[in-house]
Chains A and B, each alone.
Chain A
Amino acid sequence: MSLQAIAAFLSSFGFAILFQVPRRQLIPAGLAGALGWMIYLVSLQVGLTTTLGTFAAALVIGLLCRGWALVKQDEAAVLVIPAIIPMVPGTIAYQAHLAALAGRFPEASRLAVETALYGGAIALGLGLAKLLTQVDITMARRLTTPTSSFGSCCENHHESAWHCR
């Protein structure tokens, strides 16, 4: 398990450099990646499926990184993106293409579905973390101001709205 943690750290750290994460955030990004992979492995050990394990790890990473971003007034993506790298099904997507080009269509479809499931689990986990950390701000805005989303706010008739002029 320690070798796996080191491997996850290396992959997150390496991609953090590739994605031009600032120097100070390189080690935290690597550590977040290692932590996410550990959560994924523990989830598998307690009997969760791979998809649920990926979702759980993405959710925890999302919450931690967003919490860190709120405290530091920084961008969560700087840590989140490198941290999810070990779980991203890039190799499976590549294998799906390999199988499709080789004419092994049942295998290609299975791998494509797997890619979609794992990618979906990551997106859902991160999305839920974003929702949970933004819920207070959104509720406060709704209580104080009428809705003013672009293209759908004609019923509110704000004085400053472009579309109401």
Chain B
Amino acid sequence: MEKMTYRGFLKRYYRSRIERYMFLIESLHAYLPILESNSQKKMNQSLEDLKVMQQKKLDHAYFLTQDPEKRLSILKEDLREKRNQKYYWTLRAIKQKRKRLEAKGDETIAHEARLMEKAALGAIENKIETALNRLSKHPSLSKPLMEKAVYEALEKTLSDAWLNHQQERLNRHQKRLNQEKVKVSKKAEIYQTRLNVLKEKLTHLEGQLLHEETERLEQLSEKKKEDPTYQAMDHAIDHLNAKLRLRENQDIHLTLSHLSMSFAGLKAVDDLSFDVKKGSIFGLIGPNGAGKTTVFNCITQFYKPTSGAIYFKNNKQEVVSLLDYPVHEIIKQGIVRTFQNVELIWELNILDNMLVGAHSLYKSSLLTQLLHLPMLKREEEVVKAKAIRILDSLGLLSYKDFYPLGLPYGILKKIELARTLMTDPQLIILDEPAAGLNDQETKALAKTIKDIQKHHGCTIFLVEHDMELVMDICDEICAINFGKKIAIGTPREIQSHPEVREAYLGGE
């Protein structure tokens, strides 16, 4: 365990600052395309408005160039169309009623229905006729005639003016956008310089610390001979060795060293050690009550193990001891887990559930959230776009606005899987992903898991009872029984291992 020294504190401070600046830069870059598309949309909208206005004015001018007789006919056509639209539903209702009555089969009723329809249609026609007759007193008929040359001039000026206006708008808009872009990129530059300074400081500090740690290791190995608690010393050295192995070896992602967990005397996990390779799918199997879920809970710090060490290469390629972090900070190191029985937020819809999954990405302060400042809006837009992208890639986009209650179990499992992807994790821990799914769903799930491993490049660590699934997708399997490791190897090796067979089928 790392002691809380001044330098340790400084290291954490640097890390948190670096994280913040990286996030700020990232969010600024992600925000730019959204800004651009939004402004483009706005501009298109206003251009369309302008077009409508221009067309209206031109129509009116064209109307004024016509003779009074023609004007009347134009007005009549217009009105007829409007009235037809107005009476569309009524006409439809009348037809529907006649059809319903005809469907009864009685000839007299059908005849009456036809008569009724005729009368109703006649009444509507009458109404329209009277409205048309009233048009002859329309005030616009007495307006003076516009000459064709005037109209053409008007048309030209209008279109010219419109074009100019459009051009101006475009220019202004482009200018504003460019200003915004320059501002954003300047901000990003400032952040980048600060980030570089911080990074330099951190590497310097870490070099110092690493040097001291190796010295301590040497001292420890010297002390070992003198110390009476030989085994504890051995374990301590094993832990350090595991850490060093993880630091030097690019392949290993997570390592457990002599992990033990006991609940009031009952040993759920007993002296368990193994390595998980980077980018692989690692399976943990064992009979019921073998302590698989306890191992998961120890890794994600829901339980603090009684003894042992867990080291992990986090998303910044630093080796960290997971025991130093509280439960809710494990996700920041790049580990996300799912649960045996689906643990979604039932009072939020699917999209909001995805946003909860990205909770650790939000950097806005309380005040920002209280006042809904632009920074929060920017963050929300970026995160929402990401959520929609992930939902789309897993074929869940149509469930975006649903609440989880009442959705099929397979879909819920898939949503939980999608939620883990929100933070771009390095290691995904799946606790019995196929529990409660039928054969078809299990097959689809296997494909999904493989896809995720391939596209997101993350390591997957799973517990599963469905042997078919485990043997199908896992690269490496560890079998445990009563908290103890009995075998580790490829699926084929595990299948033919005598102790595993005994654990599952029972020995003599």
Co-assembled chains A and B = no
Residues of chain A touching chain B, judged by Cβ–Cβ distance below 8 Å, are none
